[in-house]
Chains A and B, each alone.
Chain A
Amino acid sequence: MLDLALDLLITALVIGVALWTIRTRDDFAAIVGFVAYGLLLTLAWARLAAYDVALTEAAIGGGVTGVILLRASVRLKPVTTARTPIGVRVLVGLLCAVISAGLAAVVLLPVSPPPSLAADVRSHLASTGLGNPIAGVLMAYRALDTFLETVVVLLALFGAWSLTPDRAWGGRPGAPIPTASFGPLPLFGRLLIPIGVVIGIYIVWVGADAPGGKFQGATILAAMWILAMMAGLTEAPPIGRWRLRLLLAAGPIVFVAVGVAGIPLAGSFLAYPEALAKPLILLIEVALTLSIAATLGLLVAGPPETAPGTEL
């Protein structure tokens, strides 16, 4: 009974915050509402016993997306638009309600027995050497998805960088931030970053056998890097530096190298020889963690805005 009450409370809050995000006239308020929405969804995922997804939603869906939205909110002028006529709003609302009703019908009339691949995952999990079934799916059964996903992350950064103004090409990402060593933010950074880095690495490591994983851990590492950059403790590296570019590409390169090696060694692309599955997966995960953390941090920083050599 208490469980159902808690679920009702969470679902009411999620829907309430979503409505607020859509209805409010203030863009900044909408962004704050969206961050709250991400955190409430995290609770929903935890209630659905999907702890890996909850961690991802908290770190990426709410956290990093929120930071990047706040970056945009301080730069963009609020858009004032005429209110759509009430008739159009009601019509759109009704059509959207029809779509919601259709989806609700699918939820309320499930097929029996429910489709599931849980048994197949259980029977093949041992051959990966992993204990966390979701890590097993991501790194073995759907490894091609995960590989392409890491390429998408990199492509998003290429896309963002390609929007650099010509004069700033080769500069440091983002708006210049003065270096600082005193004040609340540098102090906060010094206290939090060592703890955050340990937690980030732990989440990557424990992801093999328990909820966690490279994306969630890498996001925490990226957050610590972003904090260090925002506090003025370190500068973002110039985007032309080849060591940086190698770091960004290392994850996908290692992944595709292991994948190609799987053709002669295990019979197909992205297959692992059974005896080496765990060490190979670990190798890919370490390389991916570094690449994803660096890419996420640079995505949040944004494209360079000042010419190389003209920083503060």
Chain B
Amino acid sequence: MSLAPIDAATLYGLTGAVLVGIGLYGIVLHEGFIRRLLAFNLLGGGVFLLFGVIARRGAGAGFSGDPVPQALVITGVVVAFCATALAITLIERLAAEDDANDGDGSS
């Protein structure tokens, strides 16, 4: 095992590692749901970037990157979007319920 050369893949890999930390910090410390959701997506972007580095380093057989991790990331991006869309709809509905309760003066 030896130190990786400082090339594009290493640089983006380190960026992915930093993004995971930034996203995690936001998920833990933010109280607003929408901000936590944004932080969750920042973290996801970092994880995907790490996959991108694995793909880039696995380049071979005439491909510029290993297609398998790239395909996994494409699936991941779509699934992350679906989870985000569902979470946003839940947050909106929760806010609407809160407003309705405030209007009744019952809360």
Contacts and interface: CB of A to CB of B under 8 A. Distances in A.
A binds B: yes
A72 B35 CA distance: 12
Interface string B7-19: 1111111111111
A121 B58 CA distance: 12
Contacts of A134: 67, 70-71, 74
Contacts of A21: 26, 38-39, 42
Interface in B7-63: 7-26, 28-35, 38-39, 41-42, 45, 48-50, 52-63
A251 interface: no
Given A18-B42, A89-B29, A117 B77 contact: no
A61 B45 contact: yes
Contact of A22 (B1, B9, B39, B81): B39
B21 A15 contact: no
Given A41-B45, A93-B25, A117 B68 contact: yes
A75 B95 contact: yes
A73 B45 CA distance: 21
A264 interface: no
Contact of A41 (B49, B54, B64, B81): B49
A150 to B, nearest CB: 9
Contacts of A3: 8
Contact of A68 (B10, B22, B33, B88): B88
Nearest to B25: A96
B77 A37 contact: no
B61 A100 contact: no
A110 interface: yes
A68 B4 contact: no
Contact of A96 (B22, B49, B79, B93): B22
Contacts of A2: none
B67 A34 contact: no
A88 B6 CA distance: 35
Nearest to B50: A103
Given A53-B74, A57-B77, A163 B4 contact: no
A49 interface: yes
A156 B52 contact: no
Interface in A53-69: 53, 56-57, 60-61, 64-65, 68-69
Which of A30, A78, A111 has the largest count of B CB atoms less than 10 A from its CB?
A30
B71 A160 contact: no
A79 B31 contact: yes
Contact of B15 (A11, A22, A34, A57): A11
17 contacts: A4-B8, A4-B11, A15-B15, A18-B42, A21-B26, A47-B12, A50-B73, A56-B77, A79-B31, A107-B50, A109-B1, A117-B68, A123-B61, A142-B68, A142-B71, A159-B89, A163-B93
Interface of A: 3-4, 7-8, 11, 14-15, 18-19, 21-22, 27, 30-31, 34, 37-38, 41, 44-45, 47-50, 52-53, 56-57, 60-61, 64-65, 68-69, 71-73, 75-79, 81, 84, 88-89, 92-93, 96-97, 99-104, 106-112, 114-119, 121-123, 133-134, 136-138, 141-142, 145-146, 149, 152-153, 155-156, 159-160, 163, 165, 213, 215, 299-300, 302-303
Interface of B: 1-4, 6-26, 28-35, 38-39, 41-42, 45, 48-50, 52-68, 70-75, 77-86, 88-93, 95-96
Given A48-B53, A152-B78, 10 more contacts: A8-B11, A21-B42, A49-B64, A68-B84, A84-B29, A100-B20, A104-B17, A160-B89, A163-B90, A302-B92
